[in-house]
Chain A
C-alpha cells in the first residue's frame, strides 16, 4: 500500500471523530456503579449504626480519603491517556490522599484514647477489608480499563496502575460504609494494602490492554 493512498483512506475517515476519553470514562464508571453497589449490598450492606457513625469525624474521614484517592487518580489517568503526558508532572497529585490520611492519623494520635494504638491498627475487619475492597473495585477497574483503551499512554503499565488506584478509591468508598473500624491507623494500613493490590492488578492488565 502506498503511503499517500493510506493517507487518502484516513482522510476519507476524517469525520468519524472518536469520542473524547473524559466523557467515556465517566459513562463507563457510572455503568459499573450499580454492579458494585449490588455486589456490596448483597454481600455486606452498610453497618447498622451508620446514622450515629456519621457523627464520628473519623468515620467521615474514611470517605474523604477514598474519594480524594478516586478523584486524583481519575485526573491522573486522564492525563496519562495523552501520548506526550509525563507521569512526573501529574503523578504528584496522587500524594494528596496520602497527606489526608497522615493528617488523620496525626489528629487521632493527639486525642486521649482508651484503646492502645496497636489494637486500633489491627482492628476487627482487616481480612474482610483486604478481600472486600478488591472485590468491589473490580467492576470499576474493568470499566476504567475499557474506557482508557481509547487512550495512547506512553507507559501502559503506569496508566493501568492509576486505573487500579481510581477503582480502589471507588471500591473503598463503598466498603467504608460497612467497615466498623474507623481509626485512621486501620485505614492507613489495610486500605492501603488493598489499594496496592488493586493497583498492581491494574498495572499487570494495563500493560497488555492499554498498549496502542
Chain B
C-alpha cells in the first residue's frame, strides 16, 4: 500500500507541475480502486451496485475540480479517499438513505474489478443536455466522441483557447448539476 500511495503522490505532484500525462495516469490508476470501494460501499448499504460507475465518475469530477485543496506536502491517498467517502455518502443520501460509510471501505483496497461495460449513458452524461450549448458541444466532442482539443476546435470552428474554457466550465457545471438534489 505504501508503494502505491507514494506513486500516487508523485503523479499528483507531477500533474500540478503541468504534466497532463501523469495526471491521466493517476486518474486511471485510482479509478479501479474507487470502483471497488464504491461497489463495496453500495453493497453494504443494501443499494443496487449498478450505480457504482456513476458515483465513480462523480468522485473523479470532484477530484478534478477540487485538486487545489490537496496539500502537496501531504500524501495523496487520504485526500482522495476523503473525497470519495463524501461523494458516496452524498449519493446514498440523495437516494433517500441515511447511511454511515465504513472508513475501511476506502482504506485498504486491493481488488479492482473490471469496468462494467454499461450501455446506459450514465448519470453524468444524462446531465449533458442541461448544459449551455457551447459547453455541451465541447464536452460531447471530447468525452463522448473522443476528439482532442485541437480536433474539437476545428470541428466547432472555435479557437483552442475557447475550447479549453468551455471544457473547464462544462465540467464545473456538470459537477454542480450532480450536486442538485
Using CB atoms and an 8 Å cutoff, list the residues of chain A in contact with chain B.
Answer: 1-21, 81-84, 150-152, 154, 211-212
Contact = CB atoms under 8 A, between A and B. Distances in A.
A13 B124 contact: no
B115 A16 contact: no
A12 B149 contact: yes
B83 interface: yes
A158 to B, nearest CB: 13
A1 B143 contact: yes
A84 B81 CA distance: 8
Contacts of A9: 139, 142-143, 167, 171
Give the 10 A-B CB pairs with smallest separation, nearest first. A11-B24, A1-B125, A84-B82, A83-B82, A9-B143, A152-B66, A14-B20, A18-B68, A14-B23, A16-B168
A143 B31 CA distance: 35
Interface string B33-75: 0000000000000000000010011001110111111110010
A17 B17 CA distance: 9
Q: In terms of DSSP, what is the predominant structure of the interface of chain B?
A: helix
Most chain B CB within a 10 A radius of its CB, from A2, A17, A20, A211: A2
A11 B56 CA distance: 16
A3 B68 contact: no
A21 B68 contact: yes
A20 B67 CA distance: 9
Nearest to B65: A18
Interface in B122-170: 122, 124-125, 128, 139, 142-144, 146, 148-149, 164, 167-168
Interface in B79-109: 79, 81-83, 86, 90
A205 B33 CA distance: 34
A5 B146 contact: yes
A206 B160 CA distance: 36
B23 to A, nearest CB: 4
A137 to B, nearest CB: 25
Contact of A82 (B18, B61, B69): B69
